[in-house]
Amino acid sequence: MSRERARRRAEREAERERRAAEHALREARAARRRELRGRVTAVLPRRVRVARQGGIRARRRRDQNAVIAVLWFITQVLAWLLLDGWAARLAVLVLSILLIPVLVTVVFDRRS
């Protein structure tokens, strides 16, 4: 009986040592990753946070700009899908770029 207990104790201790070795290996890898990340971030410039304007006018302008961008993108996708010639696609691209300020001023009444 005592031999069986000694064998089981030895198995438990071997399993505990194996787990400890795995844990030490994981910790060593994590430490190397942290050190590498620290060296890389020390070289990179710090990120500058730019605060957004917070009023209702700023939010409305962001929403309008998002609508303009989505409509412009949809226009380009439709032009590329529906038009066959490169000249027509290029013409739609150039005209949409040139007409965006005019349409924004007319539709949203921006006088800047």
Q: How many CB atoms lie within 10 A of CB 100?
A: 15
How far apart, in whole angstroms, are the C-alpha atoms of residue 22 and residue 25?
5
As a whole number, mean pLDDT of residues 64-84 equals 94
- 110 three-state secondary structure: coil
The tokens for 61 are 């302008």
Name the pLDDT band for 45 (thresholds 50, 70, 90). confident
Q: pTM score, two decimals?
A: 0.51
Checking if the pLDDT of 29 tops 90, the result is yes
Dihedral angle at the C-alpha atoms of 49, 52, 53, 58, nearest 10 degrees? 160
Domain limits, the chain: 1-50, 56-108
